[in-house]
Structure 1
Amino acid sequence: MYEHADMHSKDGAWQMIFGVATDPAEQGKGYAAALMRRVIADTKSQGKKGLVLTCKERLLSFYRQFGYRNEGVSGSEHGGAVWYEMRLTF
């Protein structure tokens, strides 16, 4: 998905999140959680089926708190990292 952005469809049934980053000096203040709640609400209001994303193992619990389910290790080798596929279905 990173190498083939042409696969994007603005009218697709699922919303993909490509990245969420918080300045280390601002981490732990709830900004990423507030952003995630807003993205979830906006995506629901657009009538999408849900959200999908990939994340590193250390962030699995962060996304689980919003209802995302771990679908296992992704086939992505982006940046030489191990990525997990996460899905939130409405």
Structure 2
Amino acid sequence: MKIRKATINDLEELTKIEAECFPAAEAATEESFRGRLEIYPDFFWILENEDGKIVSFVNGMATNDYILTDEMFENPNLHDENGDWQMIFGVNTIPEFRHRGYAEKVLRKVLEDAKNDGRKGVVLTCKDRLVPFYGKIGFMNEGLSESTHGDAVWYNMRIIF
């Protein structure tokens, strides 16, 4: 297993995996991923198996904003390469590869990179059923998010370095 950064050549596969992992109202579109990959491809962490197949990935952007907002999902120009906070938009693992520690492995790499890049911490939102998973990794639950992304209920989760 190896973790690498994304390229525009990953666009189709990442879009397909995202559609497998999130309901249509929440999943990033190919157009959205294209914008992100054009502006911040180094903010996609991809885990490949021994055959070179993408099995898990995490993506997000850096910003000085303290809170992850819905606008960040759609506007890649809000990315600030030197931002204080690493935002995470999605943690994806192909269903047949879940429960093997792959998402945690990628997240720990994101945390390591964010810390090494001098960020103050990492922020994500998740559904209530995933609060314990992210808590196990060290994220603190800050309560309900103001996000209405995909008409779902989200919780703010944060790690401060």
**TM-score, normalised by the number of residues in structure 1:** 0.92
Which of 40, 46, 63 aligns to 2:111? It is: 40
- Show structure 1 runs of 4+ deviating over 2 A: 1-8
Identity of aligned residues (%): 51
Gap runs ≥5 in structure 2: 1-68
Structure with higher Rg: it is 2
Shift of residue 73, structure 1, vs aligned partner: 0.5
1:79 correspondence with 2:79: no
Find out whether 1:55 has 2:123 as its counterpart. Answer: no
In 1, distance between residues paired with 2:83 and 2:131? Answer: 25
What is the aligned length?
A: 90
Structure 2 counterparts to residues 21-32 of structure 1, below 5 A: 21-32=92-103
Q: For residues 19-49 of structure 1, what are the alpha-carbon distances to aligned partners after superposition, in whole Å with 9 as ceiling and x for unaligned?
A: 0011111101110010011111111111111
* Structure number having the greater strand percentage: 2
Higher percent of residues as helix: 2
Question: Which TM-score applies when normalising by structure 2?
Answer: 0.53
Backbone CA RMSD of aligned residues = 1.1
Higher relative contact order (CA 8 A, sep 6+): 1
**CA positional deviation for 1:68:** 0.7
Deviation at 1:7, TM superposition (A): 3.0
